[in-house]
């Protein structure tokens, strides 16, 4: 890490800014101003501090100076512009050249990330650090992503980082419980549903989708009954049968939950969509399914004489779901191909 002759991260924040031209340790460096050309179309009004820091950064970058003072300089530059890829790249070169303390680097990055939790470059740097620290970093990384997700449950960067940590560094033991916790707080959290599917299909501890399917179907059906208009569990339920169409058809729980919901919510498009899919996969219509379709389409003159349940459902969905009318029309026109 930087020697005692250079400012720490805390000192950079607390002390008033001193121009580099007034810092004795930088007296040998000639700053490199930004060149926007002779006639910049839209010149940016940088602050004097920002301009000063970047002029000196360009100087050490051009000189490829991998020194403690260069590391401190990148700290000041990143606090003013944490999205600059070149600064992050150069900082990694300096850290490797100096064999810097990675734990201290992690503390700096985590603090910077708290105020910039959607900054791609910060997450990229965190991944680089975690990979160097190894499995011992997994718990801290999971704790950090949990903190970020408390602030923004749909933060793509945090979810992506969490999945990477799981696959590269471990920590699978508590991940399904984490998903349970998030979905208990908000059953509409589609990111948590996505993470749950990631866990049951990727975790080396759970045995894969086939081993988890039965219990997951029960869990998902319970979630559907909590709020049938929540699309996420409907999609999740269908995903549980990915690659196994026979299981999709054989499992009586699939048409049963559709019909159970439709008895109370006859215009639930998610239930009709799932029922349509299972019929297209080869489910033989039962009398209860036929009666449900009849009840839905009896007022639809265009479909009243159509004996094909699939096309009748599609016709009804064209009316119930006008935003996707072209999709339902396409499915109806391709019944013989898709079903």
- Do the Cβ atoms of 145 and 158 come closer than 8 Å? yes
* Distance (Å, whole) CA 41 – CA 201: 52
Distinct helix (H) and strand (E) counts, the chain: 19, 0
Structure tokens at 35: 């060149």
List the one residue out of 264, 278, 276, 286 whose CA is nearest residue 317: 276
Q: Is 184 a known active-site residue?
A: no
DSSP letter (8 states) at residue 118: T
List the one residue out of 44, 43, 47, 115 whose CA is nearest residue 82: 115
- Do the Cβ atoms of 69 and 25 come closer than 8 Å? yes
Write down the catalytic residue from 79, 106, 111, 118.
Answer: 118
The residue count for the chain: 339
* Distance (Å, whole) CA 200 – CA 211: 9
- Do the Cβ atoms of 69 and 26 come closer than 8 Å? yes
- Report residue 202: phi and psi, to 5°: -110, -25
Q: Which residues are catalytic?
A: 118
């Amino acid at each position: 890490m930087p020697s005692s002759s250079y400012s720490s991260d805390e000192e950079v924040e607390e002390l008033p800014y001193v121009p580099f031209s007034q810092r004795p340790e930088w007296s040998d460096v000639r700053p490199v101003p930004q060149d926007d050309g002779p006639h910049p179309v839209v010149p940016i009004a940088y602050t004097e501090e920002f301009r000063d820091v970047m002029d000196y950064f360009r100087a050490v970058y051009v000189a490829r100076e991998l020194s403690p003072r260069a590391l401190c300089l990148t700290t000041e530059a990143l606090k003013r512009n944490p999205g600059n890829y070149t600064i992050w790249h150069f900082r990694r070169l300096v850290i490797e050249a100096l064999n810097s303390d990675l734990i201290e680097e992690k503390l700096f990055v985590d603090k910077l990330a708290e105020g910039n939790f959607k900054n791609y470059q910060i997450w990229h740097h965190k991944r680089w650090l975690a990979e160097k620290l190894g499995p011992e970093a997994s718990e801290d990384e999971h704790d950090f992503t949990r903190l970020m997700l408390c602030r923004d449950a749909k933060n793509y960067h945090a979810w992506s980082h969490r999945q990477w940590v799981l696959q590269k560094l471990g920590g699978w033991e508590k991940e399904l419980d984490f998903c349970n916790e998030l979905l208990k707080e908000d059953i509409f959290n589609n990111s948590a549903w996505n993470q749950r599917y990631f866990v049951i299909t990727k975790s080396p501890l759970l045995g894969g989708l086939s081993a988890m399917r039965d219990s997951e179907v029960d869990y998902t059906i319970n979630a559907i009954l909590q709020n049938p208009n929540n699309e996420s569990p409907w999609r999740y339920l269908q995903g549980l049968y990915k690659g196994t169409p026979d299981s999709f058809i054989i499992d009586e729980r699939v048409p049963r939950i559709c019909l159970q919901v439709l008895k109370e919510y006859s215009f639930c498009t998610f239930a009709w969509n799932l029922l349509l899919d299972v019929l297209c996969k080869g489910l033989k219509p039962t009398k209860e399914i036929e009666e449900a379709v009849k009840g839905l389409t009896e007022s639809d003159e265009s479909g009243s004489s159509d004996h094909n349940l699939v096309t009748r459902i599609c016709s009804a969905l064209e009316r119930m779901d006008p935003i996707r009318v072209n999709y339902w029309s396409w499915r109806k026109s391709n019944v013989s191909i898709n079903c």
